[in-house]
Amino acid sequence: EALSYNKNNAPAYFGLAEVFNDLGDEDAAATNYEKALSTDKELTEIYSPLGVLYYQKGEIAKADDLLTLAAKGENADARTVFYFGLVRFVQNKNAEAAAAFKRALAIDPTMPEPYYYLGETLVRDQKFADAVSSYKKAVELKPQYFDAWLALGAAQYTSGDYAGAATSYKEATRLNNTSIEAYENLG
């Protein structure tokens, strides 16, 4: 209704975008975030949710622009910094990705996903023992985290901890008994 009175009402577009985002309509949310930004360039709080939406849609360049701006500030939240790290991870900028995941964890150490992706980044750098620690923290925080159990098993196996790998793969098969990869790795 607010937009029917004023087509340049940036806060109304922002609010509408938030509603669409909550409803899972990413395209409508992105469109309204963009309208809000085009109407008022000072609405910097839009950078994070719009950047996350672009990341989820696979539009990495757009996500990079917005999340770089959103993650800069000292007041950036853990989710924003985590998604900034995901952008760097997709771009194979491992040092920057690892730094972002560590920063997200410093803000909120209860998030399992940054631990998992920190482990993935460490595996890329062939730091398997450090990756094992990150994966263990991810599964400690989220015991049903199938991908983390599978990755933990792989990192343990590569590190020579075959008993630990077997335990991790068994847990992975318990969580997803249709995963051929988990059974194959366990074998």
Per-residue pLDDT of the chain (187 residues; tens, 9 = 90+): 766 666 776 777 777 677 877 788 887 877 777 777 777 777 678 888 889 999 998 999 999 998 998 898 788 999 999 999 999 999 999 999 999 999 999 999 999 999 999 999 999 999 999 999 999 999 999 999 999 999 999 999 999 999 999 999 999 999 999 999 999 999 9
Question: Distance between CA 38 and CA 130 in Å, rounded?
Answer: 44
pLDDT at 22: 78
Q: Are 49 and 43 within 8 A, CB to CB?
A: no
Residue in 62, 73, 111, 103 with CA at minimum distance from that of residue 85: 103
Question: Distance between CA 150 and CA 181 in Å, rounded?
Answer: 9
Residue in 166, 94, 84 with CA at minimum distance from that of residue 130: 94
Q: Are 42 and 69 within 8 A, CB to CB?
A: no
The whole-model pTM stands at 0.85
